[in-house]
Structure 1
Amino acid sequence: MNRLTFYTYPSCTSCRKTKKWLKANDIHFHERHLFRETPTAEEIKQLLHMTTEGVDELIATRSVTFKNLDIDFDNLHLSDVVELLAKEPKLLRRPILTDGERVVVGHNIDALKNLIG
């Protein structure tokens, strides 16, 4: 298995629960603070490529940042979405875990078990 990358934000409850589960199950991971070590545009493209629902899977539509932008993502070119997500990481749902081939977005133990299984 490739090394797990864990994009997280310390004050995020789902991130803390996921991290606790990973540690309790002795799963090794590389932790990246979403706002200090923001994914690059290339990394976001890779994450999007691994999703099953595309952009909708990664965007935190309930976030204040999303609501304040008042943007119709359906009318944006993919390159514009990628650029926006790289510039505004608060738009990303969290946590995000990837082994480089698959991705799990949000606190989802069944999906995590499948990812590491």
Structure 2
Amino acid sequence: MDRPVIFYTYPSCTSCRKTKEWLKKNGVPYIERHLFKNPPTPKELKSMFEMTTMGTDELLSKRSHTFKSLDINLDELTLTQLFDLINEEPRLLRRPIITYGDHLIVGYNKEALETLLA
């Protein structure tokens, strides 16, 4: 692996705990980042969005109370505005998020996690 595994997590998130347990059990070294205390930078967000196959649908929790309460149209936002919004409201992001090299894993996905072992 050419770049470290970065694990964006939130402690009370069940999927985050399952993912962390999987990483530890399989001896995958990672850098843990608390999603709300140390959210991704705009540069990191840009990189994440470049790695998605489904864009905002893959990274944003559009059914969350936080998202619905904002009453926004994502299509009307520039990337800079979107990244600023996520930085202000990191709860908009689905979790956990794992990045490594040019790969992205969102949520607890055992099959995708196994690619970390290759």
With the shorter chain as reference, the TM-score category is over 0.9
Partner residue in 2 for 1:7: 8
Measured after TM superposition, the shift of residue 42 of structure 1 is 1.1
- Aligned-pair identity (%): 54
Give the number of equivalent residue pairs: 117
Partner residue in 1 for 2:101: 100
TM-score by length of 2: 0.93
Deviations 1:34-57 (A, max 9, x none): 011111111101111111111221
User: Could you tell me which amino acid in structure 1 is paired with residue 36 of structure 2?
Assistant: F
Matched-pair contact (CA < 8 Å) for 1:6–1:98? yes
User: Could you tell me which amino acid in structure 2 is paired with residue 13 of structure 1?
Assistant: T
Matched-pair contact (CA < 8 Å) for 2:9–2:96? yes
CA distance in 2, matches of 1:32, 1:99: 13
Give the secondary structure class of the aligned counterpart of 2:105. strand
User: Could you tell me which amino acid in structure 2 is paired with residue 96 of structure 1?
Assistant: I
Matched-pair contact (CA < 8 Å) for 1:48–1:55? yes
CA distance in 2, matches of 1:53, 1:107: 17
TM-score by length of 1: 0.94
When residues 116 and 84 of structure 1 are mapped into structure 2, their CA distance, relative to the original with a 3 A threshold, is farther
State yes or no: 1:87 paired with 2:106. Answer: no
